[in-house]
């Protein structure tokens, strides 16, 4: 019985982790759509169907993972994602591309416009043998 409980907990944890990733992707998509404008956490929480505290934790996780979110403190505070106008070039080897593809597959390659675009670029680069150097439009 203990093993069944552990498996159920692991399954819930995996489901919750996937929902968190989907929510964080939606958060980034939402901030990207407003082109650098500050958005209040309460507004994001309402749009995502979660608490303000959950959004604050998501923002912190994203910031710690390297997403350049800017947190604005105070009464009119919120969060923003800077507008990046230049093209960003990222050099990846085949195992790195495969890791990203497998992650996108778990998330769902059509979970968001960015996930769909990334999946298309990565698979397209592999199809023509250009996997070592991939470009990404950010902006």
The set of residues, in sequence order, having a beta carbon less than 8 Å from that of 2 and lying 6+ positions away, is none
Q: DSSP secondary structure string, 22-81?
A: HHHHHHHHHHHHTTT--B-HHHHHHHHTS-HHHHHHHHHHHHHTT---EEE-STT-EEE-
pLDDT digits (tens, 9 = 90+) for 115-129: 888 888 888 888 765
pLDDT at res. 33: 92
pLDDT at res. 128: 60
- Domain 2-80 sits in CATH at 1.10.10.10
Could you state, in order of their start, the residue ranges of all structural domains in the chain?
2-80, 87-137
pLDDT digits (tens, 9 = 90+) for 36-65: 899 999 999 999 999 999 999 999 999 998
């Amino acid at each position: 019985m203990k093993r069944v409980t552990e498996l159920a907990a692991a399954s819930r944890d995996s489901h919750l982790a996937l929902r968190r990733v989907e929510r964080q992707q939606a958060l980034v998509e939402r901030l990207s759509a407003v082109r650098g404008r500050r958005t209040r956490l309460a507004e994001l929480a309402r749009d995502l169907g979660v608490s303000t505290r959950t959004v604050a934790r998501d923002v912190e996780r994203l910031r710690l993972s390297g997403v350049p979110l800017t947190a604005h403190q105070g009464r009119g505070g919120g969060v923003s994602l800077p507008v990046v106008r230049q093209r960003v070039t990222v050099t990846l080897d085949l195992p790195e591309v495969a890791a990203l593809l497998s992650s996108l597959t778990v998330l769902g390659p059509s979970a968001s416009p960015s996930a769909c675009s990334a999946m298309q670029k990565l698979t397209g680069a592999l199809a023509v043998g250009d996997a070592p150097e991939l470009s990404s439009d950010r902006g």
